[in-house]
């Protein structure tokens, strides 16, 4: 797996405007959880390439995940409640919250989000011209 020298900053997802996005993302916190992939794949026609962000969110249900797209940012949050009424003899699976922020090009929008077998996939597509 290749990592660049800027692996500590959130990914900037854009087709043009990358330098502007990196300057905005430089001060954002990064803790590495949850791990994620970013893929680029062909859309339905010329100029319609799409992006897919896939996060490993095992243990989270749909109602514990929030996806917010606004002001050229995509924010993905996961919130789990700690089950305090249980007495664990061994607790190796932690209840952990997360927030991931991705800087997007102005023309990008969320097209689809799915949660399947512990993987959250968020597809991004260019906005259609009005």
**Would you kindly state where each structural domain of the chain is located, as residue ranges?**
12-82+93-126
3 state DSSP class of 114: strand
Average pLDDT over residues 85-104: 86
Instruction: Judge: domain 12-82+93-126, CATH 3.60.21.10.
Output: no
What pLDDT band is residue 69 in, cutting at 50, 70 and 90? very high
Rounded-to-10 torsion of CA 13, 14, 17, 19: 30
Residue 84 pLDDT exceeds 60: yes
Residue 37: the pLDDT is: 95
Assign residue 118 a region (left: φ > 0; alpha: ψ between -120 and 50; beta: otherwise).
Answer: left
pLDDT of residue 22: 47
Mean pLDDT in residue range 116-125: 96
Q: pTM for the complete prediction? A: 0.73
């Amino acid at each position: 797996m290749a990592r660049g020298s800027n692996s500590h900053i959130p990914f900037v997802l854009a087709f043009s405007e990358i330098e502007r996005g990196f300057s905005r993302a430089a001060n954002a916190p990064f803790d590495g959880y949850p791990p994620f992939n970013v893929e680029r794949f062909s859309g339905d026609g010329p100029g319609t390439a799409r992006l897919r962000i896939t996060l490993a969110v095992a243990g989270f249900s749909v109602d514990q995940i929030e996806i917010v797209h606004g002001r050229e940012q995509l924010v993905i949050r996961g919130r789990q409640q700690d089950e305090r009424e249980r007495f664990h003899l061994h607790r190796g699976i932690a209840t952990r919250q997360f927030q991931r922020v991705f800087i997007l090009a102005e023309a990008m929008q969320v097209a689809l989000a799915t949660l399947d077998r512990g993987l959250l996939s968020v597809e991004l597509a260019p906005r259609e011209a009005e």
